[in-house]
Structure 1
Amino acid sequence: MGPHIKGKIKKTLSSLAGQSAQSLFPDLFQNESAKAESSTVIVPPPPDMNWLAHADFGEQQKRADSAPPALLALGGKPQQELIAQKLARMGYVVTTASSTAQALERLSANKYRLVFCGADAAFEEVLRFVNRLTTDQRRHIYFVLVGADLHTFYDLEALALSANLVINTRDLPSLELILIKGLRDYEQLFRPLLDILGSTP
């Protein structure tokens, strides 16, 4: 490389010192800046629950499955008895856990199709336990979080909390309708996958 070429490169490089790529290539970044300004993420609001007042699932309300086992890890809270009564009416065989330790012991020893857990610090370990299950084990559990600050059927909230369904405590009187709809939606979404995997939840 001759001295003339070297001098030209040196001069060019010194003229670029301190400049950003955006100042050097404004046309290249103009569209990206416009995209960034116009691509504001809009988080959808929680769903409107007014449909509960008129919901009717007919015979589906009477039973969910043939005596599937359900675990209530709610620490003996007042709503636990209400949930237990409604699940029993739907055909579930209900087991309750009065503490985190008892819930973990029962989850380790038995297979449950349905698990209700309180969305509070006392039962965070139950959520962690379920999240640590293998994929094959986890997909057989329909995991429901119940709490006063949750928004029933809010999919983004359920996803963030690694649950299949979230329910606000104020909606528990309509639990049967909520659970039937939740399980039906889950079935429609995952049944083809489970059939391919040769697995029946």
Structure 2
Amino acid sequence: MISNCPHCQGALKFNPAQLAKIDQALKALKPGQRLPLKCPHCTKPMNLDAAGNAEGAPKTAPAAATPPKAAEPAAEVIKPPPPPNMDWLKSQKNEDMQFGDSARDVPMALVLHGDDDMRHLIKSSMEALGYQAASVNTPEEAIHETQAVGYACVIYHTGFEPGELKDSIFHNYMRKMPMLRRRYIFYILIGPQFISLYDIQALANSANLVVSEKDMKDFQPILHKAIPYYEQLFGPLLEELASFGKK
């Protein structure tokens, strides 16, 4: 279809109704006939052939095929760092695991686990590392304890409350605890969904350490590795805040 006047080169713009009418008229042309139109700009006549081209105008070239778009490169998949290698446990088991400074106040640990045997194992491990361990039976009691006592460590098993971890009363209490208090608590999560010492999981769950249930036999050496690292990392910050009278 013609798009410019062959005389004045003015652009020819037709609305859908006009195009339909012109197309119908072109199809009705007999061989050798032409459709007379006037240019709306210069008013000179334009005689269109059956293809919609005017005398003296360049033939309408077929639309160039749109080259296919190059396939977009696939989005790069960002992989999280791999879980830690636990081979170091073999060399740690015969070492002296106890640490702590008798010259300072004995740190307190709160154990929240519904199984008596596992609770005993956790408390024994904490006491071997210089902590004084206590336990309660309900999330409400646990919240009251952490409000009344300055616990340095809280160990929470994901089965301590029924339902999923995201719905836990106590876990959500820890997640929303003001940093003024939270930064002084080493929060440990234990559950079958965790990979021991996997910092990405700990961060995603607002904890300082995660431990898999299958590694509970090595709970004490895991603590021996994790807690000093935490103190080394955050100890200078806490000391600096204390020097300015802040917590």
TM-score by length of 2: 0.61
Structure 2 residue aligned with 1:106: 145
Q: Which residue identity is paired with 1:173?
A: K
Equivalent runs, 1:38-49 vs 2, <5 Å: 39-49=76-86
Which of 128-137 and 185-194 deviates more? 185-194
Q: Deviations over 1:36-83 (max 9, x none)?
A: x35221122322212101126955x22345521110011344311111
Distance, in Å, in 1 between the alignment partners of 2:155 and 2:110 is 6
Deviating 4+ runs (over 3 angstroms): 56-59
Structure 1 residue aligned with 2:112: 73
- Does the 8 Å contact 1:114/1:142 carry over to 2? yes
Q: Which has the higher helix share?
A: 1
Candidates 50, 55, 62, aligned match of 2:98: 62
Distance, in Å, in 2 between the alignment partners of 1:96 and 1:175 is 17
Equivalent runs, 1:8-23 vs 2, <5 Å: none
Matched, 1:95 2:134: yes
Distance, in Å, in 2 between the alignment partners of 1:57 and 1:71 is 27
Equivalent runs, 1:141-152 vs 2, <5 Å: 141-152=185-196
Distance, in Å, in 1 between the alignment partners of 2:185 and 2:199 is 17
- Does the 8 Å contact 2:112/2:136 carry over to 1? yes
Structure 2 residue aligned with 1:193: 237
Provide structure 2 residue ranges, at least 5 long, that are not aligned to the other structure: 1-9, 12-68
Distance 1:189 1:175, change over 3 A: same
Candidates 177, 180, 190, aligned match of 1:133: 177
SS at match of 1:191: helix
Larger-gyration structure (1/2) = 2
Q: CA deviation at 1:194?
A: 1.9
- Does the 8 Å contact 2:113/2:159 carry over to 1? no
Q: Once the two structures are aligned, what percentage of the paired residues are identical? A: 29
RMSD between superposed Cα atoms in Å: 3.0
- The aligned length equals 174
Structure 2 residue aligned with 1:16: none
Distance, in Å, in 2 between the alignment partners of 1:185 and 1:63 is 13
Matched, 1:182 2:221: no
Q: Deviations over 1:15-54 (max 9, x none)?
A: xxxxxxxxxxx9xxx9xx54xx352211223222121011
Distance 1:81 1:172, change over 3 A: same
- Does the 8 Å contact 1:76/1:98 carry over to 2? no
Provide structure 1 residue ranges, at least 5 long, that are not aligned to the other structure: 1-6, 9-25
Say which structure, 1 or 2, has more relative contact order (CA 8 Å, 6+ apart): 1
Q: CA deviation at 1:193?
A: 2.1
